[in-house]
Amino acid sequence: MRLALNPTEEHYLKRELLKQELTREIQCLNDPEALRKFGFPFTSGDPNVSRKKSRRSKSSPNSSPSETSSETSLSSTEYPLLSHFLQHFVMKLPLFSKEMIEKEEFWQQKVQVFFEHFMQLNFSSSFDREELTKRRKLGIKLSKIVLLMYNSGIGSAQEPQYFQQDEFKLSDGEETNFRHHSNLDQFVMPSKETLKFLLTQEPYFINGWDFNVISVAPYSTLYPEVQTKTKPTTTSSSWMKSALAFAPTAFSSPTKLLAKMSLSGDSNEKRYHFVIRGRQESTNESWYVIKNYADFKRLVADLNKEFPGKELPKLPNRSKVGISTTSTAKSLNTTDDGSNPVTPREKIIASFDSSSPAPEAVASEPEKTDEHDDFEEFEDATETITKHLPREKMRTSLRKFLRSIAEDKETAKSVSLLKFINTGRWGKEQLPLIVAQDIQNREAVDLANLQNEVAFQKLAFEQTLELQTAMKEFKTLILKDDQYLIKLFREIKEKESVAELSPTLRSFMGWCRINLSATIYTTFLGSDGGYEIFTQVKRLHKLLPYTVMVQILKIANPMAMMKGMMDLFMARPFGGNSLLQTMFSSVLTDDLKSQLKLAKELEELIGSESKFGIEITQVLSKSIFENEASTFINLEEVHDEALNMSMPLVLVLIMKCGEKGYLSQDALAEVLESYALWKNRNDTEERELTRVDSSISIADVPGLYFSHLKGLFQIYIRERDKKLMKQVWQDPELSRLLKSMVALFYEPLVRIFRVARVDVAFRNFERFMDDLVSLLDNVINGQGTMTTSSNIVDDINKLVEKHEDSLFQFIHDICVHDEENTFENMITYLTTIVSFLQKSKFGDEKERLDLVQLVETSAENGVDSVKLKEQLEELVESKKVSRRLYQKIVASRVSKKTKKALNLREIMDQKWQESNDAAMPNAISEVGLQDGDLVDLDLDVGDFTFLQDDEEDALQREYQDVLEKAIDVSEISKMTEVAFKNKLVDLLSL
């Protein structure tokens, strides 16, 4: 009896078969000798032996091609999916050197040799690190890419009917903007009043905290009564006498003189403190704390003690940069209730603090300049007030620092942070009037920055409206005409300026220009950490020897120089280590020294916390460093048990060591007691953020002993990994592979850049950087002519537009000199991928899988077709339930965010997303991918990062239970092994 499958069952059977096959192939890659079964282009024997054979075959003219290629038959592969992906999507990439990528020598003697060497080293896993390692993240991404490619590129007979019936859609809203574009008619720019309300009233919660550094004030302003009591009563002459001491040595050095003057009695008045507003989401209670820079340093030190080995946000360096705002007195008198609103014209001019504190409010007459002598800018001198805002850049940098700490769930709930933000609370009414005025002035600066960002959004939106009409035709032609992209590329090749381009390309260039301008603004001026980024870029720009480099580029090919430099770095004189190996080994050696120092400090701390501390640390050390071939303890068993018990790996390891008699029962009991306290504290903090007594010491934190053991264990793992990585860099296999890969990447670029005018492009880049740094200096550091906040948007946009033709000319030159058609081939390559992705929906019937016939073939080879049908029905039902729950979680999040007022940053990001998505709405679905495909892909691979949200715990637990529910797919697995894999080889023509 012929088995009947409906379109849905057929679709999910194909997905499950592909998923199981890909999972099997990726798991097989854990075998050090996995590539010997991969087939072409790898060898089935020992690659080190085959290298010697290949050398002999080159020297022997009588060797036949069949003898050398018999080992790598195209059909003899245990990895049909990965083999097809490698041969058709990796090796066909036009940016690689064809001479190298198609030769077996590169794959066998370089890639395969290194792979087998690397896999024999036992690096730690993601579970060991208690975080996703880079290898694991890469594996998830690779799985998603490959599974997406072949789910879309391999179709079954009834799949077109399935896609017509599948009406699964995610809820429209912010969470689906990455898949669906919001209607442009609903795109509304936030007004100044809205921005001001969001800035001053709406909380900006991150993991339950809302932090904002709202003011900076000198010590004397915040504590005037202290200054009054301690103010010295000595006369001017006695001050000079005490400062200089009339000692002969006092005048021996100007440095000593200045140092003594700086230590005079008013030093406290110059010491600035930062006013921080804290707010908790659970209570919505607001309070203020006053901290100086030393308090922030103590916070970092406390966090390092509480979380040893954890990578924490870097505390920004001290900065004395402040700004001055010039506004009309009329605007200052405007009430907050919105009556008689007047928009102030603010000129934001940065200035470095002088040695004496600047006045908080100084009436001054405006400078009369020819540049601002028009009627619209005219203001009565008596109505103009200049206010100096000291340490403004430091304020925004520290705000970013506090919010970065809050972004990490552990540090956000830490005792160190709770102690920092709760010690010395102030009420709003306690703040001096001059501080309240300073808060308003700094809010005005933040508001001006937001208005500039909105202005960029408006420009981008207007450009998007113009672009959207052109992009509709653009998308249609791309999908219908394979040659359309090549025609556009040839247009770039023929035209020498942006003005000569077609309307479609010109609109696209305009959209890119606006977005680049906005990126420049948000990076350097609009973000809290922008000043630090600008200082680094400015310093690098000053250090670059542009003139020398331009002269070199006139006579030398930059890519050839890069390749030559890489060859120099990787040369191994007399068989020794290369310069590159030595450099990386030195870096890893320094890292190891810091790891060893941290481990030693933690070992001493643990030893002082418990009389059994040394005993515990010795056991942990042996488990990591003296456990080859599991002679001390079987870590795989520990892994499995820790996963099953949902307990920390280090705790299960200590318990196992206790069972084996490596630890005393008293030592084990103390660890278990500390773990109970640690777990209870974490569970309590998950429920609410509790207040902490300011007198508490970090050493008194419950469960700190276990936290230190956990941190030490992670340090040991990282230390071992760094030692292994150092060994990898010292071994010759990696050096050989890198040298070949440099040639693989750089040879095509060397040919392209051989005749391109790189020296002219580099000189144009220098001019662009000169103009950009000069413009940003005008705004940030008050150099040269004054730049107002009202025209900074226009200035940045004009700057980018000024240099637009230079960039286009460089791209044009490269395209003209692309004699090997590398870029045209790249476009053809991309259109080939798009065509492949559309096969499951729009492909030819002859290329489709007949799964009913495949089931019959499987039944002849021992698969129970009736049982397979039952398993398939259960699988389909499970997928439907998972989809519904996925949709519920997304809908719940969208609903909550619709009801809940978004914070300022979320609104600004949402507007950028809406504007950007409008350029190419529904681009993913046009290629052939629907919401259902993307959700199923997340389900198959197990990537749930999109759904992670503490507010949806109940739904997520239910969703996780459905996913983890064991479904019997034994017959489908048999079908994969006995029939599907071979059919896949035939279908993919391997």
Read out DSSP for 952-981? GHHHHHHHHHHHHS----HHHHHHIIIIIH
In the block, tokens 């080992």 appear at 71
In a domain, 491, yes or no: no
pLDDT attached to residue 342 = 37
In the block, tokens 């730049």 appear at 787
Q: What range does the domain containing 146 cover?
A: 7-180+836-987
H helix or E strand, kind and range, residue 325:
strand 321-328
Q: Which residues, other chains included, contact 599 with Cβ-Cβ below 8 Å and sequence gap of 6+?
A: 712, 715, 716, 719
In a domain, 167, yes or no: yes
Q: Which residues, other chains included, contact 240 with Cβ-Cβ below 8 Å and sequence gap of 6+?
A: none
Which 8-state DSSP code applies to residue 849? B
Same domain flag for 275 and 138 = no
In the block, tokens 């890119």 appear at 512
In a domain, 781, yes or no: no
Nearest-angstrom CA–CA distance, 81 and 739: 28
Partnered with residue 213 across adjacent β-strands are: 276
Nearest-angstrom CA–CA distance, 96 and 86: 13
* Digit-coded pLDDT (tens) for 225-255: 655 555 554 444 444 444 444 344 444 444 4
Last residue of one domain, picked from the residues 409, 433, 452 = 452
Residue closest to 940 by CA, chosen among 891, 981, 890, 879: 879
In a domain, 797, yes or no: no
Residue closest to 791 by CA, chosen among 210, 377, 262: 377
In a domain, 169, yes or no: yes
Same domain flag for 160 and 217 = no
Residue 168, SS3 per DSSP = coil
* Pair of tokens at residue 664: 């005393």
pLDDT attached to residue 221 = 79
User: Which stretches of the chain score pLDDT less than 50?
Assistant: 57-59, 61, 63-74, 126-127, 132, 172-187, 233-269, 329-382, 384, 686-689, 783-790, 947, 950-951
Same domain flag for 286 and 392 = yes
* Pair of tokens at residue 391: 């340490």
H helix or E strand, kind and range, residue 352:
strand 347-352
Same domain flag for 209 and 142 = no
In the block, tokens 């009896």 appear at 1
Which 8-state DSSP code applies to residue 130? T
Asked if 868 and 8 touch (Cβ cutoff 8 Å), the reply is no
Same domain flag for 172 and 220 = no
Nearest-angstrom CA–CA distance, 319 and 352: 9
* Cα 459–Cα 464–Cα 470 angle in degrees, nearest 5: 140
In a domain, 142, yes or no: yes
In the block, tokens 């749930």 appear at 944
In a domain, 411, yes or no: yes
Same domain flag for 590 and 645 = yes
Distances (CA, A) of 330 to 334, 345, 347, 384, 572: 7, 11, 16, 9, 74
Q: At what angle do helices 236-244 and 254-262 cross, to 10 degrees?
A: 130
Residue closest to 908 by CA, chosen among 392, 440, 530, 449: 449
* Pair of tokens at residue 267: 């030093």
- Give the 3-state DSSP-derived string for 673-734, with helices as H, strands as E and coil as C: HHHHHHHHHHHHHHHCCCCCCCCCCHHHCCCHHHHHHHHHHHHHHHHHHHHHHHHHHHCHHH
* Cα 829–Cα 832–Cα 835 angle in degrees, nearest 5: 155
Residue 437, domain CATH: 3.30.1520.10
* Cα 111–Cα 113–Cα 115 angle in degrees, nearest 5: 65
In a domain, 170, yes or no: yes
Residue closest to 919 by CA, chosen among 464, 258, 280: 464
Same domain flag for 287 and 420 = yes
H helix or E strand, kind and range, residue 985:
helix 981-987
Residue closest to 92 by CA, chosen among 102, 83, 103: 102
Residue closest to 242 by CA, chosen among 256, 263, 227, 267: 263
H helix or E strand, kind and range, residue 41:
none
Distances (CA, A) of 53 to 43, 71, 99, 563: 12, 12, 21, 29
Instruction: Say how many domains are in the chain.
Output: 3
Asked if 688 and 282 touch (Cβ cutoff 8 Å), the reply is yes
pLDDT attached to residue 336 = 42
* Cα 851–Cα 153–Cα 831 angle in degrees, nearest 5: 160
Last residue of one domain, picked from the residues 437, 452, 467 = 452
Asked if 289 and 278 touch (Cβ cutoff 8 Å), the reply is yes
Asked if 387 and 324 touch (Cβ cutoff 8 Å), the reply is yes
pLDDT attached to residue 296 = 93
Asked if 777 and 498 touch (Cβ cutoff 8 Å), the reply is no
Same domain flag for 123 and 220 = no
Nearest-angstrom CA–CA distance, 713 and 711: 5
Last residue of one domain, picked from the residues 403, 423, 452 = 452
Nearest-angstrom CA–CA distance, 353 and 363: 18
Distances (CA, A) of 175 to 148, 491, 897, 947, 950: 21, 38, 9, 10, 16
Residue closest to 350 by CA, chosen among 396, 404, 305: 396
pLDDT attached to residue 85 = 92
Same domain flag for 214 and 150 = no
Same domain flag for 704 and 841 = no
Same domain flag for 275 and 423 = yes
Contacts of the segment 937-940: beta carbons below 8 A, 24+ positions apart:
937/144, 937/147, 937/148, 937/151, 938/886, 939/879, 939/882, 939/883, 939/886, 939/963, 940/15, 940/19, 940/147
Same domain flag for 215 and 144 = no
